[in-house]
Structure formats: structure tokens, C-alpha cells
Amino acid sequence: MTNTPVALTLNAGSSSLKFGLFSIGAAPVEMAVGLIESIGKTPKLKASFGPGMPPLSRDLTPAEARDHKSALATALAVLRQHFPEAKATAVGHRVVHGGPSYDRPMRLTPEVMEELRRLSPFAPIHQPHNLAGIEAAIEAFPDALQVACFDTAFHRTHPKVNDVFALPRAYYDKGVRRYGFHGLSYDYIGGELKRIAPLIHDGRVIVAHLGNGASMCGMINGRSVASTMGFTALDGLPMGTRTGQIDPGVIFYLVQQEGMSIDEVREMFYSKSGLLGLSGLSNDMRALEAAGTAQANEAIDYFVFRIRRELGGLAAALGGLDALVFCGGIGENSRLIRERVCEGMGWIGLELDRERNAAGDTMISTDLSRARIMVIPTNEELVIARAAKTFVEMRQGGSGIPGPDQR
């Protein structure tokens, strides 16, 4: 292990830090993966390690995770305890917004960092925390390669008709356009389809990434054609605490008639809406399914309705449908949501096998279903580790920026 390059992966959220440790020899191999959540509040640590090593779960003191810098220090202490000889050759970061320019992973230079800071208003609840994680990692690993992997990059293959808003043209040139997000997840699912079901991969596939953040992507031959998210990670499906699609006129009303400030509207749209706002109970689908209250059921109904509506729209954009793939925390674990999304969807070619769905099989459609229905757990950290490996190999070989086929 001492001679094998090692990559650390970091995924910094608004109040969380996901981390992974990968051996990046012939192919990335996961050594450890973990999560620190509720940073700055009541932080908790969860981590799992290799075969034969028990998982770790414990509450943290406020000092251990008062901010992303201290959370990273805590995560590194845990990793050093279990892998004292491992030294990070590269650190790979999930960065939510890469703007119109970045369509592939990039080595983080001062110039790239400056551009990512400029993009912070495009992703106000994500980008600043991504950058905080990067800065903490640069300080902790000054000699390691620092690599950014962008959630928007996967969608740069959109045709312009799926990128543009019907605004004066000058705003498109300023970057006001549809970007799409969750690209690392879609990239992974596309790769898995190519590995396990190449004929499905080459066809018309809709991937539903359903979790606290939720979106859907229409793909042909593994490339993004259309997605539900737009200029920010607020658009499209309702999410745990985010509104999803909403008439912009609601903003005018809230400001002009309710006397709310723009900051108050933003806080409500990002943090107090979605499943939480509709149910008045929780942003956690497990809690809503268990609650059985009228408000919880209405929140679930709306979530399912919007998924089904977007499913039809994306199928139209693709010119048909060959497969629907569920991933993300809800998509992978909620048989109820999968069943309700697919119910009565025979007109689009979907026929769910309830027994396979209840068992959590990979293929959950019936044998006679014209379009396949699948459940594939996503792995954004592995996508980041693969990118880090590519840059390590380029540095060893003296190569430049990777091409699209190396993404």
C-alpha cells in the first residue's frame, strides 16, 4: 500500500462533509468512506472501512466540527488512525457549479479558484462550502494535486434549446442559462449502464436521482440531452427543503405584498420548502412515509406527481424511452416511491414488477415491459477518485488537460 498512490475525495455540503479514501493503482479501490453531518450544530461522524474492520459512528464535540476546516481535520484524524501509512497523492473535490466553461474535471489553480468564486452567486448554498473544503484541503495537503469535479460538467452536451431561457440574448452570454446538476451521479450511472447493460446505455434513458436533492436527466448514448434543474440547484423537482419548479411571479408577490426581503425569500425557497414545507414535519422521506398524516401524504403525492410529470417531458425530449433508472437515497431505498412513480405508466412503456421492486432487485420491470426499470446505487466519490487518478497519471507522464474521453 505504501507505494500505491492514494486519493482523498471530499464533498462539502452546507453543513456536511463526505469523505473517501481510495487506492488509485490499476483502478480506484475504496479504502474508506465517511460523513460528518450537522457541522456547526450537533455534529456526528459515520465511517466505514475495508473488510473485517468495524464501522464507526459517534457524536462529535462542537470543537471537532465547528466549521469545514475543523471537520476536515477530524476526518483526517480518523483516516490516519486506520491507515497510518497512507498519504494523499491527490485530493478530489466535488464542486457544484463549473459555469459554462468547465466541461470536465480541472486541476485547481489560483486562476480556476478565482473563477469558481465568481460563480458563487449561481450556487449560493453550495459553492461557498465547496470552496471552503478546497481551501482547507490545500492547507492540509500543500503538495497534493487538487482536482475539481463539477456537477454541471456532465450537462455541457445539452443542445442550446435545452440551455437557453427566453430572456434578452445578452443574459445568455453573461452565463444566465440552464446548467443542470447532479452530474457526478449521472456520470457514474452512465458508466455502470455501459458496463452491465450496454444496449440500454446506448438508448434513451431517464435517470431519477432522488434524495434530499432531487433531479432527473434524459440521456442518449450516455450523454445528457435534458435535465430538470436549471440555472441553480433550486429548479425542477421538489426536494427535501427546496421548492423545485415555481412561478417566478411568486417572488414578486412575496416581496411586494408580503414585505419579504430577497434574502428571506431565498432562505424560504432553499431551506424551508419542499417536503419539509409541504408536510410541516420533515424533509426525510422515511419519516413522511411512516407518519401517515394528511400533510405528510400530500407532500409525498406532490413529490410523485412532479416526478411523473417530468418523466413524460423528458421522454418527449428524448423521442421515446428505453429505460428508467432510480438512484439516490430515496430512489435506491423507497420501494413505495418507485411503485407510485411507475403506476399506470404503461403508456410510456413502463411496467413494474412489484415483487422485484419489493426485493430491491437491480431490474425491477416485468419481462414484458417495453422500457426497462432499474435501481442502481450511485457513487459520486468513485467518479471523483477516477478523475484524481487521471491527473496523477498525467503528472507522472507529463501530459496536459484530459480530453473528453478521459472524463
> Which amino acids are annotated catalytic?
151
SS3 content of the chain, % helix, strand, coil (to 5): 45, 20, 35
Sheet holding 88-95, edge to edge: 56-59, 44-49, 28-37, 16-24, 6-12, 88-95, 145-150, 106-107
> What CA–CA distance (Å, rounded) separates 89 from 385?
11
**Beta strands at 88-95 and 145-150: parallel, antiparallel or unpaired:** parallel
CA 259 to chain centre: 34
Whether the CB-CB separation of 37 and 68 falls below 8 Å is answered with no
- Cβ-proximal residues to 177 (8 Å cutoff; 6+ apart), any chain: 100, 163, 164, 165, 231
**Beta strands at 16-24 and 28-37: parallel, antiparallel or unpaired:** antiparallel
DSSP state letters, 29-73 = EEEEEEEEESTTSS-EEEEEESTT---EEEE--GGGGSSHHHHHH
Q: What residue type is 17 in one-letter code?
A: L
> What CA–CA distance (Å, rounded) separates 213 from 238?
8
Grid coordinates given for 313: 417531458
